[in-house]
Structure 1
């Protein structure tokens, strides 16, 4: 008996709601996803066991049965066995997860994360029992829920958890219209490698697989890689890929800028066909002290209080010669900020690596209301785009949402087409799309602010975001200057009580 998408989503959300009250909504994902994954591998194991029995009957032995199973489930670790226990259930679940991970070291080590299942302050037993009761209403084996449906259910939970988490959601979830736009631009092909250095919950990697699958191409030959600093989020990404029936992947946990996990035999960063990411905006403590001798600093060392262009240079360093391309979400500040960032920007332009700058609508992201942009890099740009940069203004392509704006599938398709053709989708003679020669960019001091090159009807929207970024940047510079002045005055013995140093 199969289940519909609506039924699955409803039951999954019932499971999450079982935690409401004692558990902060921002922590729902920490508990719901491991339980969902465990229920899935348990139900699937039982389904596979029955299939083996049907085929071999009394001749079935452990060696034959092993061929039927994707994951090994040690005796006593199935959902139906463990959840029936009545004493210290949380601690029993924690032990079960450890046993399953140990039995599958190559595929499942660390996959369940580090939630404190035995801590009744974090997850009281009534909430845990409610979560189990809700999951008992769903059978998750292949005869009931297909991989496509299960993947869609996982995505539904991710989106809802992001909505519940507010600004915290930016750490693990990128709006899917932005993901689909990036994937549509980079167009991963069968057999290629795709890498996300800040992979969050794995949404961009899953989207690349889905694009090939929906186009009727062989998605199984695509190799996907990701690194994520947060342990819980890295675990969610791995579960996400498993549930989407993706096996050739490697998700590593760690700090990409301080300790990139993917390196070749010479110790340099490994290179990939497509590199795609939405890094944390304007990260202040990113490890600048190590970058003066880092080979990834191909155009210079970014400011210690702003790691945006460190991520960009890491990604550019990670793209394959010839086939490599990069798509990265960035705040507008990277387009015009001065100092070290201006020099890095000039270096990227001089190397003829930057192919396109695409402005996005405001208020798309959970972590910030300001508009962002996409930077597209390519190791080998098309002949007609050499010594040029394509500017696309997509700031007006959105629908107003309750808490956030959204882009429709049509909006995404229009911007992908504008990137591919270099032509204005509205036929307004370059009002929204323009291929700009390097000479003009150099005349503007390598300022890449979209408003310098495109005059559009939505200029007020774009300028609002730019102004907010510029204000925040100028405010920080003022604070730094004041602090430096007060330090010098104090060193000179001046009484600072006459000053009212303020951050306001």
Structure 2
């Protein structure tokens, strides 16, 4: 194994990002780009743990000198590193390096069960058919060339670099990116609207890579508050993605958080006693129109999530919404969730649930976003904001905002600029009638008018730039696009099963 150690001495952001991307490029060929994250992030995190252990050891020696005992030093480290489990032990292994790395990562998790359980994912590092020795050597050498301790890289830089890699991996993953990555401009807008405050408890029941939780910390910090007072909670069903979320939070300098792995509908883990834990902010971009989400178990849900009825078995959108509402605190609770426009007008069970939520005066705002913002879908989406205690001027009303024209065109995806985000946020907070000003329209609509429209919440029915006929056409087009996406997803699942069964087509 060729070693290429250097003395980085305060890396620039560009140098750090270039190094991290070089680590991903070391895997090209044997590893599919969509799987880079499962390999690069655990190795990066392992290097960070080792470099920080060395940094803490040097500080301990400087502070305590001859009085430093092994027992005392153990209390000074963020993570315990067992003998033989340091980065140096792996980088010095020239044959069967994957076997050594597998053993080291498992022992690290066992030595830090409360902090590192499941954090390294489930890659079989010893499988040279999947990851040849040459590729693993190249990956390790790339990270060996940098130091990731506080003397070399500050926390904000490291967190930003991690976000950079997440974005790059999302682009490489295409539609699969939606499973773990929400574009940061969408996250920024959603968090800005919910306005986290020091001391808030925050939950994301479909947390993906943890971007929503990280952004709440950034928002509080930028507002001059103490982000360490926030209490962050997340749940994620995918093992690799939940591991990425934990690493993301650690690398952003956060420690007081809980990320649980599991099925939010069938086995919610953000609990207090036998019931759901209540939060100031519940925020999510959950998977849209989830099929087979667990409707059977909700007919007698013990967690009180059937607020307005059991959603259809083949579409879990209103299961997410009701789960999040049930997780709000009674006084300060607020929910922000990204949803497809179909939830605004679909009938049947969903129509009945929608009417019930509006009659209970829980829905505060519907904000229509620009098209094509996400890797995973091109259908129109909206932000829905719910509150347990709405301001007096918004009680028995719903604020509709059409922000579909506030975007910057992109080659693959559109984006929202900082100015777009500020304009949309200001419109939400002021809530005044605006007709086309700043490229958006909004209206505060009485419950009586919504009732006249059969509790159809399609924005086109209330923003009077469109006729009712056009609103009906819009609904039909959206429903058609959603149906096409569900069909494509079903065809992908069928193709995967046929390939697994040995059919060649």
Q: Aligned pair in 2 of structure 1 residues 367, 459: CA closer, same or farther (>3 Å)?
A: farther
Q: How far off its partner does 1:176 sit?
A: 0.7
* SS of corresponding position for 1:407: coil
Q: Distance in 2 between matches of 1:147 and 1:429?
A: 36
1:125 Cα offset (Å): 1.2
SS state of the match for residue 275, structure 2?
coil
Residue 191 (structure 1) shift:
0.8
Match of 1:140 among 137, 148, 167: 148
Aligned equivalents of 2:175 and 2:134: distance in 1? Answer: 29
Is the Cα contact below 8 Å between 2:34 and 2:169 reproduced in 1?
A: yes
* 1:273 alignment partner in structure 2: 280
Distance 2:100 2:12 in 1: 32
Matched, 1:180 2:188: yes
Indicate how the Cα distance of structure 1 residues 318 and 397 shifts in structure 2: closer, same or farther if over 3 A, else same.
Answer: same
Deviations for 1:215-257, whole angstroms, at most 9, x for unmatched residues?
1101001000000000010010001111111111000000001
Cα distance per residue 1:247-305 (max 9 Å; x no partner): 1100000000111112222x221111100000100001101111122221110111111
1:324 alignment counterpart:
333
Equivalent of 1:57, from 62, 65, 71? 65
- TM alignment of 1:338-417, pairs within 5 A: 338-417=347-426
Decide whether aligned partners of structure 1 residues 398 and 458 sit closer, same or farther in structure 2, where only a CA change above 3 A counts: farther
Mapped partners of 1:458, 1:104: distance in 2: 61
Aligned residues: 477
Q: 1:424 to 1:179 in 2, by over 3 A?
A: farther
- CA deviation after TM superposition for structure 1 residue 423, in Å: 2.8
Contact 1:234 1:252 in 2 (8 A): yes
Equivalent pair of 1:286/1:307 in contact (CA under 8 Å): yes
| Matching of residue 299 in structure 1 with residue 308 in structure 2 | yes
**Aligned-partner Cα distance in 1 for 2:337–2:422:** 18
Is contact 1:335–1:448 with CA below 8 Å preserved after alignment?
A: yes
Query: Which residue is 2:460 aligned to?
Result: 451
Give yes or no for the alignment of 1:284 onto 2:291: yes
TM alignment of 1:82-481, pairs within 5 A: 82-265=90-273, 267-294=274-301, 295-423=304-432, 428=437, 432-456=441-465, 466-472=475-481
Q: Deviations over 1:371-391 (max 9, x none)?
A: 100000000000000000000
> How many angstroms apart in 2 are the aligned matches of 1:425 and 1:271?
35
SS of the residue aligned with 1:293? coil
| Structure 2 length-normalised TM | 0.91
**CA-CA distance at 1:418 after TM superposition:** 0.5
Aligned equivalents of 2:255, 2:37: Cα separation in 1: 22
Q: In 2, are the aligned partners of 1:395 and 1:461 still within 8 Å (CA)? A: no
C-alpha distance in structure 1 between counterparts of 2:468 and 2:451, whole Å: 23
Give the TM-score of the pair, scaled to structure 1: 0.91
Task: Specify every segment of 5 or more residues in structure 1 that has no aligned partner in the other structure, as ranges.
Answer: 479-504
Q: Which residue is 2:501 aligned to? A: none
Report SS of the residue matched to 2:95.
Answer: coil
Contact 1:362 1:465 in 2 (8 A): no
- Judge which range, 410-419 or 62-71, deviates more: 62-71
Please report the RMSD computed on the Cα atoms of aligned residues, expressed in angstroms. 2.2
Q: In the alignment, what sits opposite 1:486?
A: none
Tell me if structure 1 keeps the 8 A contact 2:380–2:478. Answer: no
The CA deviation at 1:464 is 8.7
